[in-house]
Amino acid sequence: MNHPDHAASGARNRLIAGVRAAVVPGRDDHPAVTLLPGNLSLRVPILALMFAMTIGFTAGSIAIAIVEYHVKPGLAWPLGVLQATPLIFAARWPLAAWRVAAAGLLLTVVVRHGTGFMPWPVTAILALIVILFFTGVGADRQTTVGVGTVTIAGVLLPAVAFGMPGWFGMILAGIFAVALTFGDAVGGRHSAVEELRRREEQHRQDLARQAVLEERARIARELHDVVAHHMSVIAMQAEAAPYKIPDLPDAAKQTFGVVRDAAREALTETRRVVGLLRSDDEGAERAPQPGLDRLDDLVAAARRSGLSVASVVVGMPRPLDTGVDLSAYRIVQESLSNAARYAPGARVHIEIKYGAEALAVSVIDDGPRSTPAESHGGGHGLVGMRERVTMLDGRFDAGPRREAGWSVVAELPYGDTD
């Protein structure tokens, strides 16, 4: 439990710090929160309104001082400018605007001491209220309290001491406090909204990074199974070579032994490293990795989900590297899954084109025939497709079509496989 003296001392120190921040110019004078939007179509009207208010309040402060208070024009002009003109930059530099306006009000008290019900023109008070609102928006709460304290103690109390009724000073103090409090509430809400937006953006980035890492781990596991198969073949062939080839020289037998041992060692290390990427309940794939030879199965499954799917193969089919074949299959699989989720009932066209240097895969749909069901998935299927294409140094493009629907186009280089 905090001692009452300690709490009072802490409150006093915060008040002193707030007063110092309010009075002494510093780096906090440039607020992080303003009410000026970045959109020019909104910013220009606000600035125009602020300019019109500044002209009106400044002219009113000068005119009222001359006509009603009989202040000499030589004094009325500079005092009116000090009191109301800072409003023009209050939205951007509220503390600086408040300091100038408060100094103008205090000088007016000194010039007009002991005369009239209120030493200031009403337009000057209105300008100060607006400036205090912007101060509450842009300054932190401690500085806002300091501004309110200095305004009451440094402007209102001298006016009361020089003849302004105390009850009227209390009314003005309440109005100033309301302006500061309202500005602080608006600024706090704006800060909270910005912080929430930043957190949501950070969360989206974290999800995207997580999706990339998960997809890379999945690709690594799949490639491990492919590489493990080929390394096993190499080891077995190297082991069987001396028995298949009669009269094999000892040097050749020794070479085959080195190849066999290297293949087994590489296979063991690969299993050890990639095994870390597998979950506890996930074992190595026992079935062969899928490829485009199972395209008809994908089409049939998509038709059962309600899609109208047509597929075409262009060019002369050729043997594909396992990574290319697997990636093409996964791209088609994920594209059909997305179409079934986001475009139910759509017509989907799949094209597999065997080019001279690369395999082109395109999956295009013409949009949903009914309202898609709400999806609670991660929505990172495109991330996985892009990762696979990037792994193969290919090109990938996905997005909405100009007419309707969605298109996914990938180009996968063949590599060194002939």
Clarify whether residues 247 and 385 are in a common domain. Answer: no
Whether the Cβ atoms of residue 93 and residue 29 lie closer than 8 Å to each other: yes
Clarify whether residues 41 and 156 are in a common domain. Answer: yes
Instruction: Out of 71-75, 130-134, 370-374, pick the least confident.
Output: 370-374
Q: Residue 173's pLDDT is what?
A: 93
Clarify whether residues 300 and 254 are in a common domain. Answer: no
On the CB side of 310, how many CA atoms lie within 13 Å of its CA?
6
Average pLDDT over residues 139-146: 87
Clarify whether residues 267 and 409 are in a common domain. Answer: no
Clarify whether residues 110 and 46 are in a common domain. Answer: yes
Is 85 part of a structural domain of the chain?
yes
Is 396 part of a structural domain of the chain?
yes
Range of the domain at 231: 214-275
What confidence tier does 360 reach under pLDDT thresholds 50, 70, 90?
very high
Q: Residue 125's pLDDT is what?
A: 94
What confidence tier does 388 reach under pLDDT thresholds 50, 70, 90?
confident
Q: Residue 157's pLDDT is what?
A: 92
Is 186 part of a structural domain of the chain?
no
Q: Which of 346, 347, 331, 343 is nearest to 298 (CA)?
A: 331
What confidence tier does 246 reach under pLDDT thresholds 50, 70, 90?
confident
Clarify whether residues 9 and 155 are in a common domain. Answer: yes
Clarify whether residues 261 and 380 are in a common domain. Answer: no
Clarify whether residues 125 and 265 are in a common domain. Answer: no
Q: Residues 259-315: pLDDT tens digits?
A: 877 877 777 766 666 655 555 445 444 455 688 888 998 898 888 888 899 999 998
CA distances from 204 to 200, 207, 322, 375, 379 (A): 6, 5, 33, 16, 11
Q: What are phi and psi of 249, to 5 degrees?
A: -60, 155
Q: Residue 273's pLDDT is what?
A: 61
Average pLDDT over residues 62-66: 91
Is 298 part of a structural domain of the chain?
yes
Clarify whether residues 270 and 309 are in a common domain. Answer: no
Q: Residue 54's pLDDT is what?
A: 92
Average pLDDT over residues 32-45: 73
Domain end: 148, 164, 180, which one? 164
Clarify whether residues 40 and 148 are in a common domain. Answer: yes
pTM (two decimals): 0.54
Give the separation between CA 360 and CA 327, rounded to whole angstroms: 11
